[in-house]
Amino acid sequence: MGSKANAPPQIFDRRLKQAHRDRAAHLQSDDDPLLGEVTERLLDRLEDCRRSFPVAAIIGGAGTSVAARLTGARAGVETLLHLDDSPAMLAHAARLQQASQASGTRWPQVHHLAAEEEWLPLREKSVDVIISSLSLHWVNDLPGAMVQCRRALKPDGLFLSAMWGGSTLQELRIAHTLAEQEVEGGLSPRMSPLVQVRDAGNLLTRAGLNIPSVDVDELTVHYGSPSKLVDHLRAMAESNAVYTRRPTMRRATAAAAERIYREKFGAEDGSVPATFEVIYMTGWAPAALQPQALRRGSATVKLEDLAEMQRQRDRAASGAGRSG
Amino acid sequence: MKLLTHNMLACHIKSVKNGFPFKIEAVRVEEIEADFDPDFLRHIFPRIEYHALREAAETLGAGGLPEQADEASLEDEDFLRAFHHALLEVVLEEGALICPETGRRFPVAKGIPNLLLHEDEC
């Protein structure tokens, strides 16, 4: 029995993905609106925490968007380890940082490292928060990567991630499927398998992260044409990297896919919509004094009484004359 | 690479049990002045493995850190200055990080450590 027998399946070609990221570093706008929006919604969760995160680690994906949004001591971040497997992407991040600092924005101590999310070179219990914005959907061993994140977190550290979910690019998927059947009479993997919402909670629990929470967002982006969408995917380093992919697409198939996309999904103004589903996952590294969910049925107060208690408290607070 | 970064890293090759701390092979070390911020130093201190920092600093020729330090040491201005210098101002520009268990060498170029593994190491 070799060690490879237990190895997780290799679905994605990581070397190709690294090349995609190198290329994207030159194609990407300084603040991609889609990556920025998803990242902002992800980081919004930091504001819900009544604590600070002095040491943060960013892994891959839209890391430059994350770094640019952790300035000005947001969430108390003072040290930022930025990991990416693409040297070009790190150089891109460093350039943006310099420009931003030159215009007076205060940045934390940023440290760039060439590393992969699947092989995290972080010491155990070293960081307060790990943020992965749109990177984990390219990882072959997702449970393994999340276990490594949990190990690198200090007790009560936060794992914060966003990744594309199952209905992402459903229009493109359908258009490709129909076009390949029509032109070539068969199918090939043009798109990644993606995580479904129902699996996300299990992933967090399996990684040993406490107080798991999962929620989903759906964004629709309108493009001038299907090929504009494909250009944008390339600039986001989201091109196909499935091992079993076919390296090229026949011109006739591509033309058919474009036609079908417009026919089935096109808007009246000629634009085409694309769906992006985002799965947000948060979980906390176990710690001794962490709040735990209580046993079911152990409540002593009815939920409907809570509202009344809150009203009474508000009245008492305003009666105390804090405004005076 | 600053020694703050070095202190957060451990070798991630699967078979390695104790990959911390990396040994440092220095080719070019620079001293780059950084803003002295006592609050930052107080926050980061409990997150640092002190002995690994002290050893790394000595490897790079930055002495001055006492053998032992604890939270009380943070009241001492001289200690804070030495801690600040070791953590943020001594920068390994060219060299390598060596896994303490396997001896695997990870290059550091232009200040950035390359910790990517080859496929046969995964």
Measured CA to CA, the distance from residue A226 to residue A171 in angstroms comes to: 10
What was the pLDDT predicted at A289? 83
**Mutation test of the interface with chain B: which of A6, A14, A123, A130, choosing the one with the most B Cβ atoms within 10 A?**
A123
Measured CA to CA, the distance from residue B50 to residue A164 in angstroms comes to: 40
* Chain segment A65-107, per-residue pLDDT in tens: 999 999 999 999 999 999 999 999 999 999 999 999 999 999 9
- From the list B6, B10, B40, B49, the residue with the least C-alpha distance to B25 is B6
Sorted by where each begins, the domain ranges of chain B are 3-121
Q: Mind telling me how many Å the CA of B117 is from chain A's nearest CA?
A: 8
Q: Where are the alpha helices (DSSP H) in chain A?
A: 14-27, 33-43, 63-68, 87-102, 142-152, 170-184, 197-206, 226-235, 251-265, 303-319
Residue of A nearest to B91 (CA): A111
- ipTM of model: 0.94
What was the pLDDT predicted at A191? 84
B2 touches chain A (CB under 8 A): yes
* Contact by Cβ (8 Å): A199, A284: no
CATH class for domain B3-121?
mainly beta
Contact A121 B11 (CB under 8 A): yes
Q: For chain A, which domains are there? A: 9-165+194-218+278-302 (3.40.50.150)
Contact A78 B40 (CB under 8 A): yes
What was the pLDDT predicted at A323? 46
Q: Which residues, other chains included, contact A191 with Cβ-Cβ below 8 Å and sequence gap of 6+?
A: A169, A172, A173, A176, A240, A242
* Chain segment B70-121, per-residue pLDDT in tens: 999 999 999 999 999 999 999 999 999 999 999 999 999 999 999 999 877 7
